[in-house]
Amino acid sequence: MTAQRPRYAEEAPYKIHGGCGLMGLCDESGTLMSGEDAILAMAIQHDRGNGLGGGFAGYGIYPEFPDHFAFHMMYHDVRAKEDAEALFDEYFVVDLAEPMPTRPVKRITDAPLLWRYFLNPHPRKLEEAESSAEDYVVKAVMTINATVDGAFVASSGKNMGVFKGVGYPEEIGHYFRLEEYAAHTWTGHNRFPTNTPGWWGGAHPFALLDWTIVHNGEISSYGINSRYLETFGYKCTLGTDTEVAAYLFDLMLRRHKLPLELACKALASPLWEEIDRMPAAERELMRSLRAVYGPAMLNGPFAIVLGFNGGMVALNDRIKLRPLVAARTGSVVMVASEESAIRAVMDSPDKVWTPKAGEPTVARVAGMDWPIHGDLHLSPTEVSCAVTGTETSCDFEEARA
């Protein structure tokens, strides 16, 4: 494989420092909202980015293909597209392949080829693989990211998609014509990296199947978080805090089967003096949780929004070093880095509040299932590989072991 085309690893040979702005918008009744509001919320927070990355995730956007895995693809060139499509044809039944609808936007240049595919695993191949459809899809994502030079899977979940690129988020939103989509949950991100990335795949949200992460912050505990994850087989090759957060959620929710609320408590632990004051049963639980997951605690400033098909969770660091404001109007829950974004979207919110440090803000879409992972059985190595798409994280021998 040549190393001519951009990959995450080339973007980040060392840890990226940076700040950002973010938003999350969810209608718990499941009512769909146009992407216009998401764009507006991010446009208001324009100054929180520097034009080097913006992106959105929308859930419920493909009602005509609710049971298909929607692959949002980025291709460096036609050959990459042909190579990836050969893999799609081999392993999947593709029911629709089309270019992503875009419109010209003045400052958006150097866009990769953007295509989307609605597909399902090839029934016979899936049977031969003796795995769940989710595992099958993630392995395909991993293979494409690692072995198809110049191709990158931006998202791969059902009835959702990630729209991201290099530019300010409002430009990216207009470019992808988000006002034409309707979603029950939107997340958005505005990036202010302090290095100079030039690659569309490096923008947020990060995605694996239907779950996405947008993240504002700098994890000062990155060193031990990544070493902790390595003991479980994850490979932190990007050098980004977001990657670490994604794996920690995977570890605690999927592999250790912790409820989301407790996973959030482990990532942004209460202070010991608060734990000491809790009722006995809760105190014992929190004491164990904190002592066992101490190396997983995300220490340092962050605000994070985890999106998935059942809703979203927003979480702040344990002493609230990064902004996060929340609001509710009827069944609509919104979080953003700045209240101005909320005021721009909601005329007169029923309630606006500042979530406490480490206190998760949860929005659940009625009638949608938790947990959020589906039938997934991947090893940490495979997850790392699928998320980052770098060769260095993909040791296939190890992944099989």
Partner 1 sequence: MPGTYIQPEFRVKIDYDKCHKCGRCVQQCGWGVYSFNERPIPDDSKCRACHRCVTFCPAHCITIEKNALAYKDNDNWTVDARKAIWRQAETGGVLLTSMGNPRPYPRIFDHLLLDACQVTNPSIDPLREPMELRTYLGRKPDAVSVEADGAGGYRLAPNGGMTANIQLDAPIIFSPMSYGSVSLNVHKSLAMAAQRLGTLMNTGEGGLHADLYPYQDRVIVQVASGRFGVDPEYLGRGAAIEIKIGQGAKPGIGGHLPGEKIDKEVSSTRMIPQGTDAISPAPHHDIYSIEDLRQLIYALKEASGYKPVGVKIAAVHNVAAIASGIVRAGADYIYLDGFRGGTGAAPQVIRDHIGIPIEVAIAVVDQRLRDEGIRNHASIVAAGSIRSSADAAKAIALGADVVAIGSAALMALGCHLCQSCHTGCCSWGLTTQKPELTRRLDPEWGAERLVNLVSAWSHEIQEILGALGVNAIESLRGSRERLRSVGLDAQMNAVLGVKPVGM
- Contact between 300 and partner 1 (CB under 8 A)? yes
Choices 14-22, 24-32, 43-51, 112-120; region in contact with partner 1 by CB under 8 A = 14-22
Give least dist CB 32 to partner 1, A.
Answer: 30
Choices 11-19, 30-38, 52-60, 72-80; region in contact with partner 1 by CB under 8 A = 11-19
- Contact between 196 and partner 1 (CB under 8 A)? no
Token output for 339: 């209240």
- Contact between 222 and partner 1 (CB under 8 A)? yes
Identify which of residues 15 and 177 has a Cβ nearer to partner 1 in the complex: 15
Identify which of residues 77 and 398 has a Cβ nearer to partner 1 in the complex: 398
**One-letter amino acid identity for 146?**
A
- Contact between 129 and partner 1 (CB under 8 A)? no
| Helices 241-249 & 222-231 angle (0-180, nearest 10) | 40
Choices 9-17, 50-58, 205-213, 324-332; region in contact with partner 1 by CB under 8 A = 9-17
Give least dist CB 331 to partner 1, A.
Answer: 21
Give least dist CB 50 to partner 1, A.
Answer: 13
Token output for 174: 């207009």
Q: Which residues of 349-365 are buried (b: 16+ CB within 10 A; e: fewer)?
A: beebeebebbbbbbbeb
Give least dist CB 15 to partner 1, A.
Answer: 8
- Contact between 371 and partner 1 (CB under 8 A)? no
Identify which of residues 113 and 224 has a Cβ nearer to partner 1 in the complex: 224
Give least dist CB 262 to partner 1, A.
Answer: 6
Nearest to 382 by CA among 366, 399, 359, 369: 399
- Contact between 370 and partner 1 (CB under 8 A)? no
Identify which of residues 101 and 223 has a Cβ nearer to partner 1 in the complex: 223
Q: Which residues 140-169 are close enough to bind partner 1 by CB under 8 A?
A: none
Give least dist CB 93 to partner 1, A.
Answer: 38
- Contact between 17 and partner 1 (CB under 8 A)? yes
Q: Which residues 313-332 are close enough to bind partner 1 by CB under 8 A?
A: 318-319, 321
Among 226, 242, 337, 390, binds partner 1 (CB under 8 A): 226
Among 64, 281, 375, 397, binds partner 1 (CB under 8 A): 281
Nearest to 169 by CA among 203, 121, 213: 203
Separation of alpha carbons 6 and 167, rounded Å: 17
Among 188, 301, 349, 360, binds partner 1 (CB under 8 A): 301
Among 31, 50, 147, 220, binds partner 1 (CB under 8 A): 220
Identify which of residues 307 and 323 has a Cβ nearer to partner 1 in the complex: 323
Separation of alpha carbons 10 and 388, rounded Å: 12
Separation of alpha carbons 63 and 66, rounded Å: 5
20 is catalytic: yes
Radius of gyration of the CA atoms of the chain, in A: 20
Among 297, 313, 345, 372, binds partner 1 (CB under 8 A): 297
Give least dist CB 226 to partner 1, A.
Answer: 8
Token output for 400: 């099989």
Among 101, 223, 330, 371, binds partner 1 (CB under 8 A): 223
Separation of alpha carbons 340 and 342, rounded Å: 5
Among 79, 177, 256, 364, binds partner 1 (CB under 8 A): 256
Non-local (6+) Cβ contacts of 396 within 8 A are: none
Burial class, 344, CB count within 10 angstroms (exposed 0-12 / middle 13-18 / buried 19+): middle
Give least dist CB 347 to partner 1, A.
Answer: 33
Residues that bind partner 1 (CB under 8 A): 14-15, 17-19, 194, 217-218, 220-224, 226-228, 230-232, 255-259, 261-262, 269, 271-273, 281-282, 284-285, 287-289, 291-295, 297, 299-301, 318-319, 321
**Which residues have a catalytic role annotated?**
20
